[in-house]
Amino acid sequence: MPAVQIACPECKSFNTGVVSTHRLDDDTLIRRRQCHACDARWYTHQQPEKAISKYCLQWNANGKISGLKQPLEPAI
């Protein structure tokens, strides 16, 4: 998995890195980040991905999710 590029909220530089990472009980990641250009520090959080079971996403013409629909039954 490629590293995520996060811009500094102060100077907008992409020359940033993770200082520390902490995992919460619900698998949320809290990361302390630092900008190597201006030395600013800030926190980000990342929620775990959740699987959508038994349903298929329905897309509209604008490329956005418009709802869920029941999937076809698998062929035997």
The DSSP secondary structure of 18-74, one letter per residue, reads: EEEEEE-TTS-EEEEEEETTT--EEEEEEPPP----S-EEEE-TTSSEEEEEPPPPP
**Six-digit token pair at 54?**
């038994």
Structure tokens at 68: 């869920």
Provide the whole-model pTM.
Answer: 0.58
- pLDDT tens track for 26-59: 889 999 999 999 999 999 998 887 776 666 777 7
Between vectors from CA 22 to CA 12 and to CA 34, what angle results, nearest 5°?
25
Residue 27: the pLDDT is 87
- The secondary structure of residue 41, as a DSSP letter, is E
More confident: 51 or 7: 7
